[in-house]
Amino acid sequence: IFIGRFLGVDAISAFGLVSPLNFLILMIPSVFGVGLQTVYGMTVGKGDLKRANNYFSITVTVLAVLTVALIAAIFAFLEPIAAVLGATGDAARLNPMVCTYVAGLLPGLLFNFMNTLISSMLFLKGNRSRAVLGAATISVVDVIGDALNVFVFSGGLMGMALATSASWVVGFFVMGSYFVGKRSDVHLSLRGLNLRDISEVLRYGSTKLFEHTSLLLRSLIINRLVVAFGTPVDLAVCAI
């Protein structure tokens, strides 16, 4: 709403072009989150809490390393990625705006990925209220950040993306605080980790891989078709 109303047609068009990347951002932690939720629940059901925590620890560790590598790769290839997303040809003028928006999302990406993982564990532990509170906090902080960006800082698309990043960070501390201290039996430890355990997590989470890949490809194809045959207004409409 803020982007379309206050930043103009090109800004909302650039925002729309990023949608396939947003599906990728959803897909990766969802695969890990669903897989972890499944294997953790099965292992706890067998009475092996230590092994369950090993699954939790290896999943967090691998996802963190993967996320840092992804952030570095996206940052290094911002312009080519923007072109693949559709900011090329007649829409080449949108390339800098797409790059700017994506760059603003990167500082909070690790926290966003961890939020998905933590949310899965909260539901598994029966603490739905904390997960809902975290999601609500992310939405509220994002809206407040967008408003401040428009009316106070005039930060454009970068400001909008940074507001989203900030909301992910705040949401992480709201949800993650549940696992701090003795009240939680979920503990992160780097001792005794076995990389082979991650294959079990990914096997059970693979359903999300196919689901989000189809959404990613559909979004990418639609964007490219609109860029090729439509107008800037058409692209902006698709983004809403």
pLDDT of 231 reads 81
For the residues 151-161, what does the mean pLDDT come to? 95
What average pLDDT does the segment 105-122 reach? 96
Which pLDDT tens digit goes with each residue over 39-74? 999 999 999 999 999 999 999 999 999 999 999 999
Report residue 8: phi and psi, to 5°: 100, 175
CB 118 within 8 A of CB 172: yes
Within the chain, residue ranges assigned H as helices are 2, 9-17, 19-45, 49-76, 78-85, 95-105, 109-124, 128-148, 156-176, 197-229, 232-239
pLDDT of amino acid 236: 79
Residue 108 contacts residue 29 (beta carbons within 8 Å): no
Structure tokens at 240: 């809403």
The mean predicted confidence, pLDDT, of the chain is 92
pLDDT at 112 over 80: yes
Q: Which is more confidently placed, 2 or 41?
A: 41
**pLDDT value for 191:** 85
Mean pLDDT of 193-209: 92
Asked whether the beta carbons of 195 and 58 are under 8 A apart, the reply is yes
Instruction: Report the b/e string of 22-36 with b at 16+ CB within 10 A.
Output: ebbbbbbbbbbbbbb
What lies within 8 Å, CB to CB, of 221 at 6+ separation is none
Q: Which of 59-68, 154-163, 181-190, 198-207 has the lowest mean pLDDT?
A: 181-190
In contact, 116 and 34? CB cutoff 8 Å: no
Backbone angles phi and psi of 18, in degrees to 5: -80, -10
Q: Which of 6-10, 29-33, 177-181, 193-197 has the lowest mean pLDDT?
A: 177-181
CA 56/CA 225 separation, integer angstroms = 42
Q: pLDDT, tens digit, for every residue of 182-197?
A: 778 888 888 888 888 9
Which pLDDT score is estimated for 89?
86
For the record, the structure tokens of 8 come out as: 């103009």
**Residue 116 or 180, more confident:** 116
Percent of the chain with pLDDT over 90: 75
> Mean pLDDT, to the nearest integer, of 122-134?
94
Contact call for residues 47 and 185 (beta carbons, < 8 A): no
